[in-house]
Chains A and B, each alone.
Chain A
Amino acid sequence: MATATVPPPAQPIERENYLNKHYGVGSWLLTTDHKRISLLYLMSITFFFFIGGFFALLIRLELLTPAGDLVQADTYNKLFTMHGMVMIFFFLIPSIPAVLGNFLVPMMIGAKDLAFPRINLLSWYLYIIGGILMLHCMLTGGVDTGWTFYTPFSTAFTNTKIVEAGLAIFITGFSSIVTGLNFVVTIHRMRAPGMTWSRLPLFIWAHYATSIIQILGTPVVAITIVLVAVERTLHLGIFDPKLGGDPLLFQHLFWFYSHPAVYIMILPSMGIVSEIIACFSRKRIFGYTFVAISSISIAVFGFLVWAHHMFVAGISVYAALMFSLLSYSVAVPSAVKVFNWTATLYKGSIRYDAPMLYAFGFLGLFTIGGLTGLFLACLGIDVHVTDTYFVVAHFHYIMVGGALMGYLGGMHFWWPKISGKLYPEGWARLAALIVFIGFNLTFFPQFILGYVGMPRRYYQYPPEFQVLNVLSTAGATVLGIGYLLPMVYFLWSMRYGKPAPDNPWNAAGLEWKTQSPPTTYNFEEEPVVTWEAYNYEELDAHPDEEAPSVG
């Protein structure tokens, strides 16, 4: 916008930035620049997203008709297993932290890079090694236990590729651990002068909370996978009841990570929504401190609720009672966030650009997902709907409706910064609308299906469930188109998009106060922060004051 009026100081030549500084495959594969690693991650997780989506498509096609006509039961078991494993370990968990977090955490706090750039690159290579193993596992037969690896089926009965899939997840887990470690150290030690804890963007707080879970949770599932692999290979009895072991112990260890892992997926998304809502309603976020602390409390409470996945598995009724109660406690910080976002909107100057549409989508869908989570935390209802499509719908509302909407919103919001190009706004709004409609059409019928008794993980169902299943499959098709669109126009914009100004949204964060795309070291000189986070009222009070060059 400003570029038209200002006499262009050598404007036609593209400024040096992290993308054009070096060329060639080597400059990417051996880079330690957090922004380039973020793009490496972006390409890799997008690849796995479409693989996971392909499995989802096959699942929905099979469920179009009541009879098992597209695939056999065994194949169906593998389809939903591989869908879960790929989407969780290779897409959702790395999605926001490894792509947007990697790109933005150093920029938002005014650092040149993450604290350990080479470890950051190592994390991508670990991810790729794990990914190749997972692909090999898929192509040579896959796994049919469900993504949960429940014993003793996984250790003593199934003859699918448990050990290989386990190894893939083990290695990828370490990529997640070192990413979290890198973030925590960076946030503690690399903040620019004046960037106090109370001035940190909420995106940073969310990533800090996420990192805590990655650091403390992931190793537990890693050792659990080691035990499963050893037990399966040597026929030990650690989890096999026939040999004196305890399958419930496996479930405890597994969910000790895998429940908090849900918060690895949703917390960064909440961070993004905080950024977007503040920017597009031109207001300081309502109750900054509470939103910041609520991220940490979700991470902490998240470690205390795992056994609500095991209410019908045979834990004692008193344990179930306690875990039910504790599960409700997660609702408190989550509600703090939702109410504070809503309060931020109140009397804001709201603009409905694509990122904001995703943020609105997140608000509604996350609330539905969260509230149905409370139904499931309630012992009586949980026993009734355990292992039905109600549960499937609930966690897809959180993970797809919540985490993925946030991820897409964030991708749109920061795309001008990442690529230096503007995406086509009209198409983006259309895509956001398609995703929202497609998503609800896919998953809302599943709430009803589950409530009336359709169990999950079956490839056939009674004919009376067909109408709702057809709706769901139709919705999945719409959703698929909604996901393809952004990929197409993002790629298109890299070549044909208009050059992005440094701060297209007139947003407040430090990352907008440097050029688009940034230089390798992000800032010309070390920024000094003298303002509070989200000082939109201040920004808008002096609209002609161009965002000062940092320093």
Chain B
Amino acid sequence: MSDSPATAVPSQAHAEAHNPALLHHFATEEQQRDSASLGMWIFLATEVMFFGGLFCAYLIYRGWYFGDFAAASSSINVRMGAINTAVLICSSLTVVLAIWAAQTSQRGLLLAMLALTMVFGCAFLGIKGIEYKDKFDEHHVPGASFSFHEEIPGHPGQYANPQHAQIFFALYFIMTGLHALHMIIGLGIFAWLLWMAWKSRFTPEYHTPLEIGGLYWHFVDIVWIYLFPLLYLIDRHR
């Protein structure tokens, strides 16, 4: 990016047609946009496999220790989880609106939607933090001070095996923690996008960073869409 203005200067006619965001090794803007978006999709495939290992482990133990997992799952705050699901879905909407705003050159709307996305993202992390604190207070965080003494739902008088419940909580914290880490990275990306939008870098012709940042954000949302029922809703139908 840094050396393209220098190469573009000599020929005036060329300089006019040359988007400063077009990197030297691409022939056309279209090629650059396609490469960026394909790169992001492939990265998301990597992420699917990354989370996939965890989902696989979770599903196996959920099958083996169903009662214990149901008991552990009942102890997490489903209302908070549901609110967070709604927050994330709203944030995906604002991302889409932000891209639409860039495509239709509405700078004000673009800035507002990016900012709103970040607000939703922070709200999600805040609610998640409250949930984590509750688990910490209840000694449900795996480790030395872990204790779990709950009945298995539907089996009065039968208590969950704390070791198996600890596996649930270990996976719960690793999966939601990794998801939260992705949210934090996403907030970083959106802060950068907001800065770029503030400097009016995006045009209807060039807004690739918004699109690939948006893809990432949607992916992180979708992970949560799977995490929520798997972790919170094991046995809530009773």
User: Do A and B actually bind?
Assistant: yes
Give A residues with C-beta under 8 Å from B. Answer: 111-113, 115-117, 177, 181-182, 184-186, 188-190, 215-220, 222-224, 226-227, 230-231, 234-238, 243-246, 249, 253, 256, 521, 526
Q: Are A181 and B25 in contact (CB under 8 A)?
A: no
**Given contact pairs A235-B144, A246-B60, a sample of 7 additional A-B residue pairs in the complex whose CB atoms are under 8 Å apart:** A113-B25, A115-B39, A181-B46, A215-B46, A243-B166, A243-B167, A253-B56
Instruction: Assess the A237–B171 pair: CB atoms within 8 A.
Output: no
Q: Is the beta-carbon distance between A184 and B35 smaller than 8 angstroms?
A: no
Closest to B68 in A: A244
Nearest CB on A from B110, distance (A): 26
Across the interface, which residues of A come within 8 angstroms of B167, CB to CB?
A: 236-238, 243-245
Interface residue? B126 (CB, 8 A) = no
Task: Tell me if B43 counts as interface (CB < 8 A to partner A).
Answer: yes
Chain A positions within 8 Å of B34 at CB level: 189
Cα-based distance from A487 to B85 in the complex (angstroms): 58
Bound complex: CA of A117 vs CA of B26, how far in Å?
A: 11
Query: B142, A189: Cβ atoms under 8 Å?
Result: no
CA distance A237 to B164 in the complex (A): 8
**Chain A nearest Cβ from B182, distance in angstroms:** 13
Q: Name which residue of chain A comes closest to B3, CB basis.
A: A32
How far apart are B173's CB and chain A's nearest CB, in angstroms?
9
Among the 9-residue stretches B14-22, B47-55, B75-83, the one with 4 or more Cβ atoms under 8 Å from chain A is B47-55
A230 to B177, CA, bound (A): 12
Whether the Cβ atoms of A227 and B57 lie closer than 8 Å is: yes
CA–CA, A227 and B142, complex, Å: 13
Q: Cβ of A185 and Cβ of B39 under 8 Å apart?
A: yes
How distant is A509 from chain B, measured CB to nearest CB, in Å? 20
Contact B166 A226 (CB under 8 A): no
In the complex formed, the residue of B with least CB distance to A243 is B163
- The docked-state distance in angstroms from the alpha carbon of A220 to that of B144 is 28
Q: Which residues of B contact A111 (CB under 8 A)?
A: 25
B64 contacts which chain A residues (CB < 8 A)? 246
Q: Tell me if A237 and B49 are in contact (CB < 8 A).
A: no
With A190-B31, A249-B57 already in contact, the answer to whether A181 and B42 are too (CB < 8 A) is yes
Do most interface residues of chain B lie in helix, strand or loop, or is the interface mixed?
helix
The listed residue (B24, B46, B143, B170) touching A177 by CB distance below 8 A is B46
Question: Secondary structure at chain A's binding surface: helix, strand, loop or mixed?
Answer: helix
A244 & B57 in contact (Cβ 8 Å cutoff): no
Residue-wise, chain B 3-29 has the 8 Å CB interface mask toward A (1 for contact) of 000000000000000000001111100
- The residue on A at minimum CB distance from B38 is A185
Residues of B with C-beta under 8 A to A216: 45-46, 49
User: B65 at interface (Cβ–Cβ under 8 A)?
Assistant: yes
B178 to A: closest C-beta gap in Å: 8
Give the residue name and chain of the A residue nearest to B47 (CB). A219
A245 contacts which chain B residues (CB < 8 A)?
A: 167
| Interface contact B143-A220, CB-CB below 8 Å | no
Q: Which residues of B contact A226 (CB under 8 A)?
A: 174
Query: In the bound complex, do residue B49 and residue A220 qualify as a contact, i.e. CB atoms below 8 Å apart?
Result: yes
Complex CA–CA separation, A117 to B38 (angstroms) = 15
Complex-state Cα separation, A186 to B52, whole angstroms = 26
Number of interface residues of B (CB under 8 A): 38
Are A117 and B25 CB-contacts (below 8 A) given A189-B34, A215-B42? yes
Instruction: Tell me, yes or no, whether B161 is within 8 Å of chain A by CB.
Output: yes
Residue of A nearest to B51 (CB): A223
Nearest CB of chain B from residue A348's CB, rounded to whole Å: 37
The reply to whether B170 and A230 contact each other, CB–CB distance below 8 Å, is: yes
The smallest C-beta distance from A215 to any residue of chain B, in angstroms, reads 5
25 contacts between A and B (CB under 8 A): A112-B25, A113-B25, A117-B25, A181-B46, A185-B38, A186-B35, A215-B42, A215-B49, A219-B47, A219-B53, A220-B49, A223-B54, A227-B53, A227-B57, A230-B170, A234-B143, A236-B143, A236-B166, A236-B170, A237-B163, A238-B170, A244-B161, A244-B164, A244-B167, A253-B53
Residue of A at shortest CB range from B42? Answer: A181
Which residues of A have CB within 8 Å of B171?
A: 238
Which residues of the partner chain A approach B49 to less than 8 Å between Cβ atoms? 215-217, 219-220
- The CB with the most chain B CB atoms within 10 A, among A243, A244, A245, A253, is that of A244
Question: In the complex, A32→B38 CA distance in Å?
Answer: 20
A526–B27 CA distance with the chains assembled, in angstroms: 9
Assuming A115-B35, A116-B39, A117-B25, is B161 touching A253 (CB within 8 A)? Answer: no
Closest to A245 in B: B167
- Give B40 Cβ to nearest chain A Cβ, in Å: 10
**Contact with A237, one of B35, B54, B166 (Cβ below 8 angstroms):** B166
Minimum CB distance partner of B169 in chain A: A236
B window 150-201: CB within 8 A of A: 161, 163-164, 166-167, 170-171, 174
Distance in angstroms from B63 CB to nearest chain A CB is 11
A227 to B143 CA separation, bound complex (whole angstroms): 14
B164: A residues at CB distance < 8 A: 244
Which residues on A sit within 8 Å (CB–CB) of B45? 215-216
Instruction: Please give the distance in Å from A529's CB to the nearest CB on chain B.
Output: 14
Residue of B nearest to A230 (CB): B174
Tell me the bound Cα distance from A112 to B46 in angstroms: 26
Cα of A117 to Cα of B2 in the assembled complex, Å: 13
CA distance A457 to B216 in the complex (A): 45
Alpha-carbon separation in the docked complex, A270 to B192 (Å): 43
User: Residues of B contacting A189 with CB < 8 Å?
Assistant: 31, 34-35, 38
CA–CA, A177 and B25, complex, Å: 22
Task: Give CA–CA (A215, B45) in the complex, Å.
Answer: 7
Known A-B contacts A234-B142, A249-B57; the reply to A185 vs B42 at CB < 8 A is yes
User: Which chain A residue has the least Cβ–Cβ distance from B177?
Assistant: A230
What's the least CB distance linking A444 to chain B, in Å?
38
Q: How distant is B61 from chain A, measured CB to nearest CB, in Å?
A: 8
CA distance A243 to B65 in the complex (A): 12
* Shortest Cβ distance from B65 into A: residue: A244
Give the complex CA separation of A256 and B56 in angstroms.
12
Question: In the assembled complex, how far is the CB of residue A259 from the closest CB belonging to chain B, in whole angstroms?
Answer: 15
B181 to chain A, nearest CB (A): 11
Which chain B residues lie closer than 8 Å to A249 at the CB level? 57, 60
List of B residues within 8 angstroms of A235 by Cβ: 143-144
Query: Which B residue's beta carbon lies closest to that of A234?
Result: B143
Are B35 and A190 within 8 A (Cβ)?
A: yes
B163 near A188: Cβ-Cβ < 8 Å? no
Once bound together, how far apart are the Cα atoms of A202 and B142, in whole Å? 51
Query: Within 8 Å CB of B24, what residues of A?
Result: 112, 521
| B52/A220 in contact, CB under 8 A | yes
| Known contacts A113-B25, A185-B42, A238-B170; A253 and B57 CB within 8 A of each other | yes
* In the A-B complex, the 3 residue pairs with the closest CB atoms: A219-B50, A223-B53, A112-B25
Min CB distance, B136 to chain A, in Å? 14
A435–chain B nearest beta-carbon distance, Å: 36
